[in-house]
Amino acid sequence: MTKSTLKPNTIAIVGDPKPMPAPGRKTAANPVWISIADGIWKNTRAKQPWLYERPVIGGRATFKALGTTLLKQAKLELARRLTQRFTGAEPPANEPERAVTSGVATGGVMAGGVMAGGVMAGGVVTGGGVTGGDVIRAYQRAGYPDKRLNPRPAETQEMESSNCEMLLRFWENILMDKCRDQDCDDYRAWRIEQLTRKSEGTRMVDLDLNTMNNAARFAKRRGLVSANPFADRLRYHDPKKVRHCRECMPKDADDLHAIAAPLFAHPRSVALGFQFLAEAMTGLRTCEVLKWGADDFGSLTPDGRYIRVWRSKGQHNVNPYCANHEGLQAVLKAHALWKKIKFPNSPCFFPSAKDPSQPVGGDSLAHTLGRLRGKKVTSHGARAFFVTIRRSQGVSDAQIAFEIGHTTGGSTLAKVYGGVPPNWLTGDAPKMGWLPVNTPLAWAASEARNWDFQNA
């Protein structure tokens, strides 16, 4: 076999290549080429010890010289080429590329791994290189994948899409390799100026920059940039000002039904009233309880003691059932009568008043609760209510975590829903119930009386 005459920055086409050996190894089946790093190869029989990449050009696997014999510089050059390919700026295969030298960089040629003239600095294209707009649009084209490259839920994709449109207005022309903490500070000031409602705005800034971090992380995975400048960003919202869900929950069953009663006062919001009560009685999230009525979710076991449920965030296999206690039994019984009278032909468990063939919107309950007068109560506050009731009944956090689908064994409950009063741990708990004592049932109020729920 003759020695390779492959020169730097030329392409060698290999037909039907056999599997390459693992990094640092060679085999009898392929003794010439060895992989010495991720994506970087070496020809052991070449006159010059050049390092190569292995792109696919014209549908065929090729070896293409990286113009250097140094591994560190080869990695930087490979990152530059991957960046150009991702943005469609790579020169044609027959066009010679500028060599990587160890001399002084001029006109965009590398010097000791640092590029001048607007080509590369630390492996990132600069001066006409990758901008925030490039990173965001790459994330959009990919469909907003999560860190494991899996699709996000539809509602999360919608939020990411909205955030990206706002981010593009500021980050469009900002070079990613030039991005500094000051740019995030400037975005904070600019974003707050865009607010149309009275708000501090720092929480919104953090949500936007979280999306930017997601986009930059994806771009780094795809070789568009070599570093994510948002990975260690400062959070602008003061954690002391964060309102936790335990601050937005009903204090007991009487308070729960008093808060839910206005939702039953108008025919268009009755479904939301039942949804709110169902969340409080099961500890399910909104997206989880809205699955009822589909794929047999929301159905009872043969003995009627449990209800089959779906759980988000990959937690369905943790516990696919909720206990059908006395409070939930009362809600389900009233719901069945209401649905039989008002929406007998609807396939949805919580049908929309506008279109009974469709369920209520995923954000409808949150918006409606936000318009109620008095104490602020949220949908997640109903989940905190469930945790509080179960704690008052002497149930351990580990058991409650299992009941709401957590896999942490209870360690998350104290952080999210607050600690347990010490005397509750010793059995001196108030034993709070699911049904109101001094307040009428929510569906027995106002206009609901005309539907004879009392006799349900």
Could you give the CA distance from residue 350 to residue 357 in angstroms, rounded to a whole number?
10
Higher pLDDT, 298 or 108: 298
End-to-end CA distance of the chain: 91
What pTM, to 2 d.p., does this model score? 0.60
The pLDDT of residue 254 is above 90: yes
Q: For all residues of the chain together, what is the average pLDDT? A: 79
Q: Give the SS3 label for residue 189.
A: helix
Give the residue-averaged pLDDT of 194-210: 84
Rg (CA), the chain: 30
Higher pLDDT, 14 or 352: 352
Q: 168-177, 241-250, 260-269, 416-425: lowest mean pLDDT where? A: 241-250
**Is the CATH number 1.10.443.10 carried by domain 246-455?**
yes
Would you state the structure tokens that stand for residue 239, as one six-digit string? Answer: 């954690």
pLDDT at 8 (0 to 100)? 43
Q: What is the pLDDT of residues 273-318, one digit of tens each?
A: 999 999 999 999 999 999 998 888 999 999 999 999 998 877 766 7
pLDDT at 86 (0 to 100)? 65
Estimate the crossing angle of helix 253-260 against helix 379-392, to 10 degrees.
160
Could you give the CA distance from residue 279 to residue 358 in angstroms, rounded to a whole number?
19
The pLDDT of residue 40 is above 50: yes
The pLDDT of residue 190 is above 90: yes
Enumerate the domain spans of the chain: 11-97, 132-241, 246-455
8 Å CB contact between 116 and 127: no
pLDDT at 216 (0 to 100)? 96
8 Å CB contact between 129 and 79: no
Instruction: Identify the residue whose tokens are 């039942």.
Output: 274
How confident is residue 242, by pLDDT bands cut at 50, 70 and 90?
Answer: low
Residue 74: which of 104, 94, 54 has the closest Cα?
Answer: 54
> How far out from the chain centre does Cα 358 lie?
26
Q: 79-83, 181-185, 439-443: lowest mean pLDDT where? A: 79-83
Q: For Cα atoms 122, 125, 129, give the angle at the middle one, nearest 5 degrees.
A: 155
Residue 260: partners with Cβ closer than 8 Å, 6 or more residues away: 273, 276, 277, 442
Would you state the structure tokens that stand for residue 423, as one six-digit string? Answer: 């005397």
Residue 224: which of 292, 192, 177, 280 has the closest Cα?
Answer: 177
Q: How many CB atoms lie within 10 A of CB 109?
A: 17
CATH architecture of 132-241: Orthogonal Bundle (1.10)
The string of DSSP codes covering 330-393 is HHHHHHHHHHHHH-TT---SSB-SS-TTSBPPTTHHHHHHHHSSSS---HHHHHHHHHHHHHHT
The pLDDT of residue 425 is above 80: no
pLDDT at 359 (0 to 100)? 92
